Structure 1
Amino acid sequence: MSLPSLSLNPDTQSDLLWTPSDPSQTQTSLFREHINSTYSLSLQTYQDLYEWSISHRADFWSSLWDFQNVVGCKGKHIVDEGASPENNPSWLEESRSNWAENQLRHSHSYPNDIAIIQLSESSSNYTAPEKKITQLELYKLVGRAQRSLIGEGIQKGDRIGYWGGNVLEAVVLVLASSSIGAIFSSAASDFGVDGVKERLDQIKPKLLFVTNGVVYNGVIRPLIPLLPKLMKSLKKPPEKVIVIEHLPEQLAGIPNDMERWNQWLDPNEGETTFERLGFNDPIWILFSSGTTGKPKAIVHRQGGMLLDSLREHHLAGDIGRGDVFFYYTTPGWMMFQYLVSSLSTGATIILYEGSPLKDPSYLFNMIDQYGITIFGTSAKWLEVISKTYPDVKDLHELSTLKQILSTGSPLPGGLFDWIYEKVKKDVLVGSITGGTDICSVFAGRNTSLPVYRGEIQSRMLGFALDTDGPPNQPGELICKQAFPIEPLGFWPLDGYDFPEDEVESAKKRFKESYFKGDKGIWYHGDYVRITPSRSSNSGGILMLGRSDGVLNPGGIRFGPTDIYSVLEGSEYSQLGVEETLVVGLMVEGGADEKVVLFVKMKGNRTLDDTLIKKIKTDIRLARSARHVPSKIIQVSDIPVTLTNKRVEVPIMKLINGASISSINPATLRNPDCLEEYVKLGERMRKEEGMDG
Structure 2
Amino acid sequence: MKKLWQPSKLFKEHSHLQTYCNWLKDHKNLTFDSYEQLWQWSISNTEAFWESLWYYFKITSHTPYKKVLSGYNMPNCKWFEGATLNYSEHIFKQIQPNKTAIFFKNELGKQTKITWAQLKEKVAAMASYLKTLGVKKNDCVVAFLPNVPEATIAFLATNALGAVWSSTSPDFGTESVVNRFSQIKPKVLIATDGYTYNSKPFDKTNTVKAIIAALPTLKKVIIQPYLNENALNYFDENCENINTILNKKGEELTFTPVDFNHPMWVLYSSGTTGLPKAIVHSHGGILLEHYKYMAFHNNVHENERFFWFTTTGWMMWNFLQSALLMGASIVLYDGSPTYPNFDALWTFTDNLQINHFGTSAPYLVANMKKELTPKKTHKLNTLKSISSTGAPLPTEAFHYVYNNIKHDVWLCSMAGGTDVCTAFVGGTPFYAVHAGEIQCRALGVSLFALDDLGKPIEDNLGEMVIDKPMPSMPIYFWNDKDNSRYKASYFEDYPGKWRHGDFIKINSETNGLIIYGRSDATLNRHGIRIGTSEIYSAVNKINAIEDALIINLELEGGKHYMPLFVKLKQGFKLNDSVKKDICNQLKNDYSPRHVPDEIIEVADIPYTISGKKMEAPIKKILLKMPVEKSINIDAMRNPECVDFYIDFAKNI
TM-score range, shorter chain: 0.7 to 0.9
TM-aligned CA distance change 1:586 to 1:25, over 3 Å: farther
Alignment of 1:420-499 (within 5 A): 420-469=402-451, 470-472=456-458, 473-492=460-479
Q: CA deviation at 1:31?
A: 1.1
Q: Which piece of structure 1 moves more, 225-234 or 385-394?
A: 225-234
Amino acid in the other structure paired with 2:152? V
Q: CA deviation at 1:398?
A: 0.3
The separation in 2 between residues aligned to 1:600 and 1:364, in whole angstroms, is: 40
1:548 equivalent to 2:520? Answer: yes
1:175 equivalent to 2:156? Answer: yes
Deviations 1:167-199 (A, max 9, x none): 111101110111011000001110000100101
In the alignment, is the contact (CA less than 8 A) between 1:91 and 1:280 conserved in 2?
yes
Show structure 2 runs of 5+ residues with no match: 523-531, 537-562, 568-581, 587-593, 595-604, 606-611
Which residue does the alignment assign to 2:102? 116
Please state whether the residue corresponding to 1:92 is helix, strand or coil: strand
Alignment of 1:197-236 (within 5 A): 197-234=178-215, 236=216
Indicate which of 275, 295, 303 corresponds to 1:314: 295
Indicate which of 47, 54, 68 corresponds to 1:79: 68
Deviations 1:43-91 (A, max 9, x none): 221111111111111111111121122233573544347613233x111
The separation in 2 between residues aligned to 1:51 and 1:270, in whole angstroms, is: 47
Indicate which of 343, 357, 363 corresponds to 2:324: 343
In the alignment, is the contact (CA less than 8 A) between 2:69 and 2:80 conserved in 1?
no
Identical residues among aligned pairs (%): 32
In the alignment, is the contact (CA less than 8 A) between 1:79 and 1:91 conserved in 2?
yes
Deviations 1:532-577 (A, max 9, x none): 142xxxx21101000225999x9xxxxxxxxxxxxxxxxxxxxxxx
The separation in 1 between residues aligned to 2:382 and 2:129, in whole angstroms, is: 39
TM-aligned CA distance change 1:619 to 1:73, over 3 Å: closer
Amino acid in the other structure paired with 2:399? D
The separation in 1 between residues aligned to 2:203 and 2:509, in whole angstroms, is: 51
Q: Which piece of structure 1 moves more, 62-71 or 257-266?
A: 257-266
1:99 equivalent to 2:87? Answer: yes
Scaled by the length of structure 2, what TM-score is found? 0.80
Q: CA deviation at 1:16?
A: 4.1
In the alignment, is the contact (CA less than 8 A) between 2:167 and 2:313 conserved in 1?
yes
The separation in 2 between residues aligned to 1:619 and 1:53, in whole angstroms, is: 40
The separation in 2 between residues aligned to 1:634 and 1:292, in whole angstroms, is: 15
In the alignment, is the contact (CA less than 8 A) between 1:190 and 1:624 conserved in 2?
no
1:626 equivalent to 2:628? Answer: no
Deviations 1:194-215 (A, max 9, x none): 1001011111101101011111
Q: CA deviation at 1:630?
A: 6.5
Q: CA deviation at 1:270?
A: 2.6
Alignment of 1:267-278 (within 5 A): 267-278=248-259
Which residue does the alignment assign to 1:527? 503
The separation in 2 between residues aligned to 1:117 and 1:75, in whole angstroms, is: 36
Q: CA deviation at 1:36?
A: 2.3
Q: Which piece of structure 1 moves more, 267-276 or 176-185?
A: 267-276
Amino acid in the other structure paired with 2:169? A
Which residue does the alignment assign to 1:566? none
The separation in 1 between residues aligned to 2:133 and 2:639, in whole angstroms, is: 37
Which residue does the alignment assign to 2:29? 40
1:516 equivalent to 2:492? Answer: yes
In the alignment, is the contact (CA less than 8 A) between 2:71 and 2:78 conserved in 1?
no
Please state whether the residue corresponding to 2:79 is helix, strand or coil: coil
Which residue does the alignment assign to 1:290? 271
Alignment of 1:135-150 (within 5 A): 135-150=116-131
The separation in 2 between residues aligned to 1:299 and 1:74, in whole angstroms, is: 23
1:369 equivalent to 2:333? Answer: no
The separation in 2 between residues aligned to 1:217 and 1:209, in whole angstroms, is: 24
Please state whether the residue corresponding to 1:420 is helix, strand or coil: helix
Please state whether the residue corresponding to 2:375 is helix, strand or coil: helix
Q: CA deviation at 1:426?
A: 0.5
TM-aligned CA distance change 1:406 to 1:174, over 3 Å: same
The separation in 2 between residues aligned to 1:96 and 1:585, in whole angstroms, is: 52
The separation in 1 between residues aligned to 2:168 and 2:396, in whole angstroms, is: 33
Show structure 1 runs of 5+ residues with no match: 1-9, 123-127, 493-501, 555-582, 603-611, 639-675, 678-692
Q: CA deviation at 1:269?
A: 4.4
In the alignment, is the contact (CA less than 8 A) between 1:584 and 1:594 conserved in 2?
no
Which residue does the alignment assign to 2:229? 249
Which residue does the alignment assign to 2:481? 503
The separation in 2 between residues aligned to 1:168 and 1:440, in whole angstroms, is: 22
In the alignment, is the contact (CA less than 8 A) between 1:598 and 1:634 conserved in 2?
no
The separation in 2 between residues aligned to 1:471 and 1:40, in whole angstroms, is: 32
1:56 equivalent to 2:49? Answer: no
Amino acid in the other structure paired with 1:421? N
In the alignment, is the contact (CA less than 8 A) between 1:163 and 1:186 conserved in 2?
yes
TM-aligned CA distance change 1:349 to 1:233, over 3 Å: same
Which residue does the alignment assign to 1:417? 399
In the alignment, is the contact (CA less than 8 A) between 2:350 and 2:380 conserved in 1?
yes
RMSD: 3.1
Alignment of 1:148-163 (within 5 A): 148-163=129-144
Amino acid in the other structure paired with 1:95? A
Q: CA deviation at 1:482?
A: 1.4
1:355 equivalent to 2:300? Answer: no
The separation in 2 between residues aligned to 1:289 and 1:599, in whole angstroms, is: 17
Amino acid in the other structure paired with 1:144? A
Amino acid in the other structure paired with 1:222? D
Q: CA deviation at 1:518?
A: 6.3
The separation in 2 between residues aligned to 1:48 and 1:40, in whole angstroms, is: 15
Please state whether the residue corresponding to 1:91 is helix, strand or coil: strand
The separation in 1 between residues aligned to 2:33 and 2:643, in whole angstroms, is: 53
TM-aligned CA distance change 1:26 to 1:113, over 3 Å: same
1:238 equivalent to 2:222? Answer: no
Which residue does the alignment assign to 1:70? 59
Which residue does the alignment assign to 1:496? none
In the alignment, is the contact (CA less than 8 A) between 2:360 and 2:391 conserved in 1?
yes
